[in-house]
Amino acid sequence: MPGLFERNEFDTYTAIDVETPNRYSRSICSIGLVHVEAAGEPQCRCYLVNPEDDFDGINISIHGIRPEDVECEPTLETIWPEIEPFFSGGLLLAHNALFDLPVMRRALERHGIYPEEPWRYLCTLEQSRRHIPKYAFGSHRLDALCEGLGIALENHHDALCDALACANLYEYLRARYGCAPSQIKIYPKDGQ
């Protein structure tokens, strides 16, 4: 067990959340990132992204982002050089990582970007299901967990607000239940 001031692989991470314009899970219209290192202030980034894709009404009703809100925003290809360091070499967090990470990969691939390294991640949805009974808050959705645990979530489905909530939920779960290296997963696994 590490000492009180000893750093470990769980101290540095980036919580991410993406919002999608449609049901196809191949593009993003917003991304929120919260990068945390043990010795510094969190770095928060949020981008509206031109997905160069169609929008579905149901997605607009969830996150409120409309085509006209992003038509003059940069594409993922344009912002990738700035955000790529958050995806390499550290731990990624997401609430329902098996949504956010595949969407991010497919969106990058649409631009001909193929990250060389797989991403190491922890899913706060999986972690909460492991430790918190569903009946405690009625659901393991991010908003239900945050409300039940007293974690701030100002605007659910705002990418930065959700990424901040994910980071805070991770810190809660980590402090209360701990994290083990065996809980870190790799995306994509070989053959995906």
Task: Output the domain CATH number for residue 131.
Answer: 3.30.420.10
Sign of the Cα torsion 132, 138, 142, 143 reads negative
130 token code pair? 């492991």
Those residues whose C-beta lies under 8 Å from the C-beta of residue 155, and which sit 6 or more positions away, are 161
Per the rule left: phi > 0, alpha: psi between -120 and 50, beta: everything else, 119 is beta
Per the structure, how many domains does the chain have?
1
Q: Which of 4-18, 34-48, 53-67, 126-140 has the least mean pLDDT?
A: 4-18
Whether 192 is in a domain gets the answer no
Does residue 8 lie within any of the structural domains?
Answer: no
Looking at residue 27, its pLDDT comes to 98
Determine the length of the chain. Answer: 192
| Domain ranges, residue 21 | 13-187
In angstroms, rounded to a whole number, what is the distance separating the alpha carbons of residues 113 and 77?
A: 8
pLDDT of residue 1: 42
Distances (CA, A) of 167 to 63, 74, 94: 20, 26, 8
Distance CA 161, CA 102 (A): 21
Question: Which pLDDT tens digit goes with each residue over 35-67?
Answer: 998 778 999 999 999 999 999 999 999 999 999
* Contacting residues for 168 by C-beta, under 8 A, at least 6 apart: 146, 151, 152
Question: What local confidence, expressed as pLDDT, does residue 7 receive?
Answer: 53
Phi, psi dihedrals of residue 127, rounded to the nearest 5°: -65, -40
Q: What digits encode the pLDDT tens for the residues 178-190?
A: 999 999 999 997 6
pLDDT at 8: 75
50 assigned to some structural domain = yes
Residue 109 has pLDDT above 60, yes or no: yes
Write down the mean pLDDT value for the chain: 93
The answer to whether 54 and 29 have CB atoms below 8 angstroms apart is no
| Percentage of the chain lying above the pLDDT 70 cut | 95
Share of the chain above pLDDT 90, in %: 89
Secondary structure percentages of the chain, helix, strand, coil, to 5: 40, 20, 40
Confidence of residue 102 (pLDDT cuts 50, 70, 90): very high
Give this prediction's pTM.
0.93
- Note whether residue 157 is domain-resident: yes
Tell me what the mean pLDDT of segment 98-109 comes to.
Answer: 97
Alpha-carbon torsion (50, 53, 56, 62), positive or negative: negative
Q: Is the peptide bond preceding residue 67 cis, with omega within 30 degrees of 0?
A: no
